[in-house]
Structure 1
């Protein structure tokens, strides 16, 4: 923890990491591969995360990544060719007169140093131009979303200062309108994490005690995978989320639905399930419109409207909901969600209640 705190103190500008999103693909791919080995993989293929941009905050960094990759390949190839030439030139049995004819070698060093300096300066200029391009959107965002990183999930808060009734909290799923820049305020509740949606923007650290900002914008409707890309503990690989880009009409409809409280339940099973939820789950989870007001775990008011469970570890089906409740520590060891033993009757009742949270 002390090392993490020192690292957090050293990183005071989260935006600086945005331009380097593409070269960091290997860590995320390996993390997803580890995740896939342990659980079903409901997300998009890892290669799609960074090879394709879907917004103006991501395209410049994608092009920068390709440019830096091409530059690295070109330099490595040139060095390999020169090294091979030197080995051939110095091979045993070669003509001694040829081996010692190196009077022009220093000139080549001067030429190589000069060319390298120019190329590196041009690359630096391109990097700085890219940083400037992605620093701020072309127009002021009308929507601000606060994302708080936890071990190991994401709290997503929508706020509307003129109308507090439109404020609500969800988890692990962010909805945005297509073609509109969205301001993301990033916080951390525990350690350093990193918010990264490669197809929409570069990465930005979430640091305890500090609010960092970034912006995202989607050019077209779709679901875009996000991932924590800063190692944050045992379940770092299972700390994913999704950004759902929708038309303005669909986004407004989703926002109105999410702002509503949970509907009253009816039926013996659902009523029994709500009572069981209040006894075993309400200390950590919130369901708006009920007595469940916990704040240490995801808000479940509209649980069934989400596509994934457990920060991307499972698809959101009734069977996976019960599997998560019963075997949370098997699915995500060391997470704060305990495994809960349920009888057949309790499982049926709880499943009936959860099915009303849509």
Structure 2
């Protein structure tokens, strides 16, 4: 955490150079090879749950078939180019004789092969349609331009009802039902190592299920082009033990405690005046529903739908230069003087 002097000087440091650095940090975070979660598209053929294993097998088989077809077509094309064609007889049009024989061979091979691929794909869809046991947890995920609202309406403890953003926590080794909705356009929910893709369509609720075999962080991404910031619409699935998940759920269900420190009170007023129209913080008068719930902002690893690491400096960077970091996002850039930045930081630092 930066000290008070660093926070007071933050607005002077919030310039295009700092934004470039923030983008570089985000890029480094997403592409570092340390974990699968940090490079999702590099590891989409590595499954980590029962909803993903059949799809991975299907991917490899289809890839092998497509490569084989490309090789065969290439060999035949080269052979045809190198072979001199016999002169056509007068009045002869189109393929006849030996040419028609090759066409019939191609049809005879491709039709059964395509039919077999279709049957195998249908069996795979059936295998991943429902889990082997009924999910005990249902999570509703609503896609927005360009972030994800995550609602826990059916947690195992009925009193625990809460919302978070861009971060889905699940217990290890248990299937979790995901109900997908969209608030604007068509998005696609995809956690490459845990399941295939499912669309979130306005006015319709689609479902899929995910299950992680081991604890860890699994990166997710919108894979349906949905607008200017489609590429920066990521989320994370955090798989943890049942005890850790229960502790996390209990903590997320709590409201923000009252803090009477002068700087916190001043920062809360700034938040209510300038941010509460869109954001909610339970335990305060901020009840906005158009943007992420920030009640437990500091419990998340990333902000801005996976664009930045969640640090105090990046929080202020995002507030002051949202449109530089994520152009056309619904989050406006908010001008802050040094005192306002320090006070807002003091309030945001209480959202644990």
TM-score (normalised: structure 2): 0.85
Counterpart in the other structure of 2:27: 40
Distance 1:224 1:341, change over 3 A: same
Checking the alignment, whether the CA contact within 8 Å between 1:49 and 1:225 is kept in structure 2 is no
Checking the alignment, whether the CA contact within 8 Å between 1:157 and 1:169 is kept in structure 2 is yes
Kindly provide the CA deviation profile for residues 50-103 of structure 1, in whole angstroms up to 9, marking residues without a partner as x: 1211111111111111111111110010010111111121289xxxxxxxxx95
Q: How much does 1:333 deviate?
A: 1.2
Kindly provide the CA deviation profile for residues 185-218 of structure 1, in whole angstroms up to 9, marking residues without a partner as x: 0111111111111111111111111111111111
Counterpart in the other structure of 1:86: 80
Counterpart in the other structure of 1:316: 310
1:146 and 2:128 aligned: no
Kindly provide the CA deviation profile for residues 8-56 of structure 1, in whole angstroms up to 9, marking residues without a partner as x: xxxxxxxxxxxxxxxxxxxxxxxxxxx9789535331244341211111
Counterpart in the other structure of 1:267: 261
Kindly provide the CA deviation profile for residues 283-331 of structure 1, in whole angstroms up to 9, marking residues without a partner as x: 1111111111111110000000000000011010000000000001111
Q: Using the alignment, how far apart are the partners of 2:350 and 2:236 within structure 1?
A: 23
Q: 1:341 aligns with which of 331, 335, 339?
A: 335
Q: Secondary structure at the match of 1:176?
A: strand
Q: 1:187 aligns with which of 178, 181, 187?
A: 181
Kindly provide the CA deviation profile for residues 139-188 of structure 1, in whole angstroms up to 9, marking residues without a partner as x: 10000000001111100000138855200000000000011000000111
Structure 2 gaps, min length 5 = 1-21, 31-37, 87-95
Distance 1:103 1:337, change over 3 A: closer
Q: Secondary structure at the match of 2:44?
A: helix
Q: Secondary structure at the match of 1:252?
A: helix
Checking the alignment, whether the CA contact within 8 Å between 2:229 and 2:329 is kept in structure 1 is yes
Q: What pairs up with 1:1-358 in 2 under 5 angstroms?
A: 40-43=27-30, 44-90=38-84, 104-160=98-154, 164-358=158-352
Structure 1 ranges of 4+ moved more than 4 A: 35-39, 102-105, 161-164
Q: How many residue pairs end up in the alignment?
A: 315
Q: Using the alignment, how far apart are the partners of 1:116 and 1:59 within structure 2?
A: 27
> RMSD between aligned alpha carbons?
2.0
Counterpart in the other structure of 1:3: none
Distance 1:91 1:216, change over 3 A: same
Q: Using the alignment, how far apart are the partners of 2:39 and 2:106 within structure 1?
A: 41
Structure 1 gaps, min length 5 = 1-34, 93-101
